[in-house]
Structure 1
Amino acid sequence: MAKLHWKRIVVKVGSALIAPHKAGCSSHFLLGIAHFIANCRAQGCQVVLVSSGSVAAGWHRFPEVNNPNVATKKAMAAAGQADMMATWDKLFDFPSAQLLVTHGDLRDRERYISIKETIFSLLEHGLLPIINENDAVTTDKLKVGDNDNLSAMVAAAADADALIICSDVKGLYTKNPNLDPNAKLIRQVSAIDERIYQMAGGATSDVGTGGMRTKIEAAEKAISHGVETVIVDGFDPDSFHQLLKGQNPGTLFSPFEKPMQEHLHWMTHTSQAQGELIVENDFEGDFEGEHTQLTSDDVVEVKGNFSVGDTVLVRKGDGTKLAKAKSNYSSCLLNFITEQEDPDFASDVQQKTGPIISDKNIAILE
């Protein structure tokens, strides 16, 4: 790691750093992070901050509640978001801007592009974008669920050079360092495979929603877009001193040498399949060809309800996932076509309407 060679970074801060005891926001652990962000900006490096903590920050506003239900947690998020933004504002001598998103925003291509444009405009005008999931209004169907994965999606949208994920441990260990004294810190990961995931345990904090596994998931999303990713101990100010010196204080995940194209990365890691197209187990279609087509003759079953333009998963009957793709047909029309006994009917429809999926909107799944 050369000394601060990045031009644009995303920093992810979790709930345990924002409101460590659910007693309101605390700047105790945020000072070092704020100092790091200020130094990065002073050196010409643009910064986007992904900050969890709205629920934890608002928890103390509901002292009579021990086990909050979903509606109360949304109310806590609404109350805590304002406190969290106020806390960050106090730590900076430059302006910031709040951007609340849901997975529904990110998986819709038009809204995703809108988010990109907003981030770029804020950075261009010298503001610090502070992004969080809109916990006050999101539903299970529309939420990302953890800000580790959200930060990776933001890093891709922002075309960042690096993603810094703050944890409550130094990085990825061979075993849980809180339980095994022989656990060793892994300084660098060149490829993420099942062995790496097996090393990732659950959350060690009772405040946040993400554990080490979600951080590995986020790293996998980010590095496939060419974003260098570092997991560091956010509670240790020395982590940020080392980063400013170009040193690796935690676990560094090396980015792909050949990153995925932007629209394919979005379809693979951000867009959510709204339905499935099931093909025969012996299906041998070439999705990597220049003239990829999927016809109704190939599709044996249509699952889910989706509209034209929605992302669908193409898989074999045995469960093998082949690709994610943009559907040129609605599930209603596809079901109608596949139920017809006249083979010429489907052929006539597809001659007029085109292929079910097109070659420019396919992400191959391996």
Structure 2
Amino acid sequence: MRVVVKVGSAVLTQDGEIALERMRALVDFLAQLNKKNEVILVSSGAVAGGYTKLKLDRNIIANKQALAAIGQPVLMNKYAKKFIKHDMIVAQVLVTAANLNSQDDIKRVRATVETLLENKVLPIVNENDATATDELELGDNDQLSAYIAKGTDADMLIILSDIDAYYDSDPRENPDAKALKIVKKIDEKELNKEVSPNNVFATGGIVTKLKAADYLLKSNIDMFLASGFDLSDVKSFMLEGTHKGGTLFTCKGK
């Protein structure tokens, strides 16, 4: 099975720094997942990585792009060091949303990813924030990962986030909100709600995740949303075949 795993900035950063323990836990999980699956990682965190080196005002797009340029090698260096402990080689694949709107570009991205996977190299896809503004302004990283999943013929997208599941109402406002384990259709009203990021480095929220899921459902690709802070739900689901927590978006008969 080919799996795309997307991890958000809220998971990878804490108090203006890269959250190294969470990154280590993520890498350990991906190494386990990689034993029986082809794994592609889509990682946020470049802007946050840059901010650890240079404190610029993140509200200015040009500053965010500069921070991303500083942060990309910081992020990749940390990933490479952690994956090498599992005897795994990683490679960076930089894309923009514009790349994934072009069939020629999609073919080139797919060919690169295929070659890396064939040679047992784990591709780490980063949104090229140093030159693109759409992702920085609109918070399209979740949807970008959905485009990658479809463009690389993946069977599933896993989004690891500060949001541990899709609830029947906002759990921050309703203590009785219930997590939905399986979702087969997303209401149009939910897709049109205002984006509400929870973290200073995050640009998305539940809405961008629902849009990603809706896009994949229409292409018959599953999506699993779970916590990136506590990986027990995604480990249970992907490594043990037990759905304890998190939300599976699927149009299949599961």
Fold equivalence (TM over 0.5) = yes
TM-superposed deviation, 1:172: 0.6
CA distance in 1, matches of 2:58, 2:208: 24
TM-superposed deviation, 1:68: 4.7
The size of the alignment, in residue pairs, is 248
* 2:49 is equivalent to residue 57 of structure 1: yes
CA distance in 2, matches of 1:52, 1:253: 22
Query: What SS does the aligned partner of 1:181 have?
Result: coil
Counterpart position of 1:277: none
CA distance in 1, matches of 2:66, 2:152: 30
1:40-98: CA deviation from partner (whole Å, max 9, x where unpaired)? 1112x0000000110011112223x3455222111100111111111111221300100
Query: What SS does the aligned partner of 2:21 have?
Result: coil
Equivalent residues in 2 for 1:241-260, closer than 5 Å: 241-243=235-237, 244-248=239-243, 249-255=245-251
Is the 2:97–2:134 Cα contact (8 Å) retained in structure 1?
no
Q: Rate the CA distance shift 1:66–1:195 in 2: closer, same or farther, 3 A.
A: closer
1:307-337: CA deviation from partner (whole Å, max 9, x where unpaired)? xxxxxxxxxxxxxxxxxxxxxxxxxxxxxxx
Structure in which a larger fraction of residues adopt helix: 2
Counterpart position of 1:30: 23
Give the counterpart of 1:96 among 75, 90, 102: 90
Q: Which amino acid aligns with 1:128?
A: L
CA distance in 2, matches of 1:50, 1:62: 24
CA distance in 1, matches of 2:49, 2:7: 13
* 2:165 is equivalent to residue 171 of structure 1: yes
TM-superposed deviation, 1:199: 8.3
Q: Rate the CA distance shift 1:33–1:235 in 2: closer, same or farther, 3 A.
A: same
Equivalent residues in 2 for 1:1-366, closer than 5 Å: 7-23=1-17, 25-43=18-36, 45-63=37-55, 65-92=56-83, 93=86, 94-140=88-134, 145-194=139-188, 196-197=190-191, 202-243=196-237, 244-248=239-243, 249-255=245-251
Structure 1's consecutive aligned runs of 4 or more residues displaced over 3 angstroms after TM superposition are 65-68, 139-145, 195-201
1:132-157: CA deviation from partner (whole Å, max 9, x where unpaired)? 11000114499874210001000001
Counterpart position of 1:319: none
CA distance in 1, matches of 2:58, 2:188: 35
Is the 1:77–1:136 Cα contact (8 Å) retained in structure 2?
yes
Is the 2:127–2:135 Cα contact (8 Å) retained in structure 1?
no
Gaps of at least 5 residues in structure 2 are: none
CA distance in 2, matches of 1:200, 1:236: 27
TM-superposed deviation, 1:182: 1.2
1:253-302: CA deviation from partner (whole Å, max 9, x where unpaired)? 11368xxxxxxxxxxxxxxxxxxxxxxxxxxxxxxxxxxxxxxxxxxxxx
CA distance in 2, matches of 1:119, 1:47: 10
CA distance in 1, matches of 2:25, 2:133: 34
Is the 1:148–1:214 Cα contact (8 Å) retained in structure 2?
yes
Give identity over the alignment, percent: 37
TM-superposed deviation, 1:206: 2.4
CA distance in 1, matches of 2:49, 2:77: 11
CA distance in 2, matches of 1:241, 1:169: 16
Query: What SS does the aligned partner of 1:103 have?
Result: coil
CA distance in 2, matches of 1:178, 1:186: 16
Q: Which amino acid aligns with 2:117?
A: L
CA distance in 2, matches of 1:201, 1:157: 25
TM-superposed deviation, 1:36: 1.8
Structure with max Cα Rg? 1
TM-superposed deviation, 1:221: 1.2
Counterpart position of 1:291: none
The structure with higher relative contact order (CA 8 Å, sep 6+) is 2
Is the 1:32–1:240 Cα contact (8 Å) retained in structure 2?
no
Q: Which amino acid aligns with 1:254?
A: T
Indicate the RMSD between aligned Cα atoms, in angstroms: 2.2
Gaps of at least 5 residues in structure 1 are: 1-6, 258-366
CA distance in 1, matches of 2:112, 2:28: 25
Query: What SS does the aligned partner of 2:157 have?
Result: strand
